[in-house]
């Protein structure tokens, strides 16, 4: 479809999802760097010396639109009918928050890579030992996945996607895929794992037969239920995608409110570290950044190979309080769930 002044919107109806097109005219016009600087000055932002280099490096949309919210004066904005910054706000404040969020993305990207490696290894081990090295290596047969009728269409989609991945990798001459296709005309799952995404891995696990899902979950953590692992992987898939695509991450909890809200299950750790419980859920640690760290620790079980440094997470926020107003850092701790009292307890917690 050719891009133009139209936005495709998906509307959920009783009978399913329907795609419809609505014409939307863009009200914003492109602006030069100098014009962008003047806009920021007019809105009360102290841009400091040579602001253009930051707008060029980070992009106005990514830096300003992405990280301005906590620095906006809502009353002045209402009166002016356009953004107005709180008194004393500087471009350096937005840059500091942007760079903090970048570090957060890098942390969670590294963590999810470790989890991805662990899960792919266990999935390929259990699946391959059960279904062998036959034609297509077993992942092309619906009978090797869950027989649940409601999952049938998802199994079909998964198999089609895996086959497409192999074909695409072969077409683009990915060395490992070409080697197995040229010599064996098939690609084992442990090799296929090198090209499938975190999201596909999550779907692969979710569509396995119940006993295999339970065995894999038990290998990860004896106290981990298979359904809880499925929920955790779905949550981490969103976190992983945001981290990989350089999207704003710290406000994940707030951003979710505009769409379908995803959560992680309740774990014993939530109770043990004293998170407040209201309206049948914990106030923190289920749909925020703290949730991503907690569920990662549950999955990894804090092994010697992989350990989340909770004290470093707290220290990074303490450093941020020296770069931006402390009240803003407190808002960030509220949004992310990364409060000192929880991080301190998690540092000593035995998962």
Distance, in Å, from the CA atom of 103 to the CA atom of 293, rounded to the nearest integer, reads 14
Mean pLDDT by 10 residues, the chain (351 residues): 40 36 49 96 96 96 96 97 97 98 96 94 94 75 94 95 94 94 90 94 97 95 93 96 95 84 92 94 96 94 72 97 97 98 94 82
Q: What is the 3-state secondary structure (H, E, C) of 145-206?
A: CCCCHHHHHHHHHHHHHHHHHHHHHHHCCCHHHHHHHHHHCCCCHHHHCCCCCHHHHHHHHH
The pLDDT assigned to 314 comes to: 97
Rg over CA atoms, the chain? 24
Q: Do residues 113 and 95 make contact, with C-beta atoms less than 8 angstroms apart?
A: no
Distance, in Å, from the CA atom of 312 to the CA atom of 212, rounded to the nearest integer, reads 36
The pLDDT assigned to 135 comes to: 53
The pLDDT assigned to 3 comes to: 44
The pLDDT assigned to 24 comes to: 36
Reference 101, options 308, 263, 289, 339; nearest CA is 289
The pLDDT assigned to 133 comes to: 65
Distance, in Å, from the CA atom of 317 to the CA atom of 330, rounded to the nearest integer, reads 9
The pLDDT assigned to 315 comes to: 97
């Amino acid at each position: 479809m050719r891009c133009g002044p139209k936005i495709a919107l998906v509307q959920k109806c009783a009978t399913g999802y329907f795609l419809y097109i609505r014409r939307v005219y863009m009200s914003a016009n492109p602006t030069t760097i100098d014009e962008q600087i003047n806009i920021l000055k007019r809105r009360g932002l102290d841009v400091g010396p040579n602001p253009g280099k930051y707008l060029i490096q980070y992009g106005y949309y990514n830096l300003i639109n992405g990280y301005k919210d906590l620095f906006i004066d809502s009353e002045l904005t209402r009166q002016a009918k356009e953004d107005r910054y709180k008194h004393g706000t500087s471009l350096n404040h937005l840059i500091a928050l942007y760079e903090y969020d970048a570090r957060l993305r890098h942390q969670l990207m590294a963590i999810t890579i470790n989890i991805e490696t662990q899960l792919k290894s266990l999935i390929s081990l259990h699946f391959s030992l059960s279904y062998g090295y036959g034609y297509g290596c077993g992942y092309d047969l619906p009978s090797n996945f869950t027989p649940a009728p409601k999952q049938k269409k998802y199994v079909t989609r998964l198999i089609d996607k895996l086959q497409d991945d192999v074909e695409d990798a072969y077409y683009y001459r990915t060395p490992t895929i070409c080697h197995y296709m040229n010599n064996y005309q098939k690609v084992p799952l442990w090799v296929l794992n090198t090209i499938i995404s975190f999201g596909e891995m999550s779907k692969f696990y979710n569509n396995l037969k119940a006993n295999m899902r339970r065995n894999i979950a038990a290998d990860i953590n004896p106290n981990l239920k298979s359904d809880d692992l499925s929920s955790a992987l779905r949550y981490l898939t969103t976190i992983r995608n945001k981290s990989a695509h350089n999207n704003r991450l710290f406000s994940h909890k707030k951003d979710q409110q505009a769409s379908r809200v995803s959560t992680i299950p309740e774990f014993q750790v939530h109770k043990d570290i004293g998170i407040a419980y209201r309206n049948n859920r914990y106030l923190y640690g289920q749909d925020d950044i703290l949730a991503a760290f907690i569920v990662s620790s549950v999955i990894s079980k804090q092994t010697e190979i992989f350990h989340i440094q909770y004290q470093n997470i707290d220290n990074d926020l303490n450093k941020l309080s020296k770069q931006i107003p402390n009240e803003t850092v407190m808002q960030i701790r509220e949004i992310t769930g990364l409060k000192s009292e929880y991080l301190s307890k998690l540092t000593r917690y035995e998962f």
